[in-house]
């Protein structure tokens, strides 16, 4: 470790350790700035770079981590689920939360982890002061992030949960997997703002989480599966999207009197857990948080 120390005067050299993020798109990601600052704060000679990867090359991209000696990587949309197939080993977290968002390269052996679920709960509890056991939750979306969020909420004591997705079969599959993993039975409700059952559940929910890319930079926000008045007063609307900082989902919720938060807190905490998996060192949360807010223009 001593030979890999970083100083402010040091430039990238033959000992620089490379980390990165695989996804498509990744140009919007704040992780490169956050993680590179964290590596410097820890005194490590390392950099973290974006790898924008076309879907047809995902297998080659993962193999490239091993071939090029990339020490670790995050995995984001749309590859969290498929990347599981290319790991040499899966940590229990990847099996539990259903996807891989963190890859650790241990001497050429790729191990897949999932820090999304624990990172989400830390963001709720530490940043928002919200206890998942407080009441029912509704999740919009049924992809890899939604599964991590749903599983984490159940593990943290959420008493009732509904999944809403544009494609019902995916929502059903998520609910079935959640039941197989935890024994918990979730509601599956239609993506239809006029559906009475979905509206009734949404009104009683204490937490509504957007796990879709709707509202992300470059994605149009449209066709929300909630009445215009929701989320509303007494509810927390949490959007996993963090760019833009004030997402359409947040603006809508705040206009209705709800508390609203973007995904910066989850990005911070899942990133900190990933960094600790790569380095074995405690993550410098204060520095990481500061860089995130600088990136967001706060």
Active site residue 80: yes
150 is known to lie in a ligand binding site: no
The alpha carbon of residue 88 and the mean position of all alpha carbons in its chain are separated, in whole angstroms, by 22
In this structure, are strands 109-113 and 102-106 parallel, antiparallel, or unpaired? antiparallel
131 known ligand binder: no
The annotation status of 55 as a binding-site residue, yes or no, is no
* 52 annotated to bind ligand: no
The reply, when asked if residue 113 is annotated as ligand binding, is no
3-class DSSP string for the chain:
CHHHECCCCCCCCCCCEEEEEEECCCCCCCHHHHHHHHHHHCCECEEEEEEECCHHHHHHHHHHHHHHCCCEEEECCCCCCHHHHHCCEECHHHHHHCCCCEEEEECCEEEEECCHHHHHHHHHHHHCCCCHHHCCEEEECCCHHHHHHHHHHHHCCCCCEEEEECCHHHHHHHHHHHHHHHCCCCEEEECCCCCHHHHHHHHHCCEEEECCCCCCCCCCCCCCCCCCCCCCCCCEEEECCCCCCCCHHHHHHHHCCCEEECCHHHHHHHHHHHHHHHHCCCCCHHHHHHHHHHHHCC
| 31 marked among binding-site residues | yes
Does 153 belong to an annotated binding site? no
99 annotated to a ligand binding site: no
Known binding residue 76? Answer is yes
92 is in an annotated binding site: yes
Is 141 annotated as ligand-binding? Answer: yes
- Out of 80, 155, 206, 233, the active site residue is 80
Is 29 assigned to a binding site? Answer: yes
CA dist list (Å): 262 to 10, 98, 296: 35, 23, 11
User: Is 142 within any annotated ligand binding site?
Assistant: yes
Asked whether residue 125 is marked as a ligand-binding residue, the answer is: no
Residue 101 assigned to a binding site = yes
Q: What residue numbers does the annotated binding site cover? A: 29-31, 76, 92, 101, 116, 141-145, 240, 242, 263, 270
Active site residues: 80
Q: What residue numbers does the annotated binding site for NADP(+) cover? A: 92, 141-145, 240, 263
Q: What residue numbers does the annotated binding site for shikimate cover? A: 29-31, 76, 101, 116, 242, 270
């Amino acid at each position: 470790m001593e030979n890999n120390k970083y100083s402010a005067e040091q430039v990238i050299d033959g000992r620089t350790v490379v980390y990165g993020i695989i996804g498509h798109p990744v140009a919007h990601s704040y992780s490169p700035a956050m993680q590179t600052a964290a590596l410097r704060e820890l005194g490590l000679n390392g950099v973290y770079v974006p790898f924008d990867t076309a879907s047809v090359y995902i297998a080659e991209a993962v193999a490239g981590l091993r071939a090029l000696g990339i020490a670790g990587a995050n995995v984001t949309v749309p590859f969290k689920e498929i990347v599981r197939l290319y790991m040499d080993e899966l940590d229990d977290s990847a099996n539990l939360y259903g996807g891989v968002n963190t890859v650790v390269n241990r001497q050429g052996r790729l191990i897949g982890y999932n820090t999304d679920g624990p990172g989400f709960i830390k963001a709720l509890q530490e940043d928002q002061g919200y206890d998942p056991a407080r009441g029912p939750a509704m999740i919009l979306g049924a992809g890899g992030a939604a599964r991590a969020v749903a599983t984490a909420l159940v593990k943290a004591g959420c008493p009732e949960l509904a999944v809403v997705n544009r494609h019902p079969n995916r929502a059903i599959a998520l609910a079935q997997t959640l039941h197989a993993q935890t024994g918990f039975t979730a509601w599956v409700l239609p993506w239809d703002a006029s559906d009475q059952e979905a509206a009734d559940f949404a009104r009683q929910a204490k937490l509504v989480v957007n796990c879709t890319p709707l509202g992300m930079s470059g994605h149009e926000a449209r066709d929300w599966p909630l009445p215009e008045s929701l989320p509303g007063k007494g509810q927390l609307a949490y959007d996993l999207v963090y760019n833009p900082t004030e997402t359409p989902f947040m603006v809508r919720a705040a206009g209705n009197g709800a508390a609203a938060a973007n995904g910066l807190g989850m990005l911070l905490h899942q990133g900190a857990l990933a960094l600790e998996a790569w380095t074995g060192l405690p993550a410098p949360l204060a520095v990481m948080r500061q860089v995130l807010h600088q990136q967001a223009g706060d």
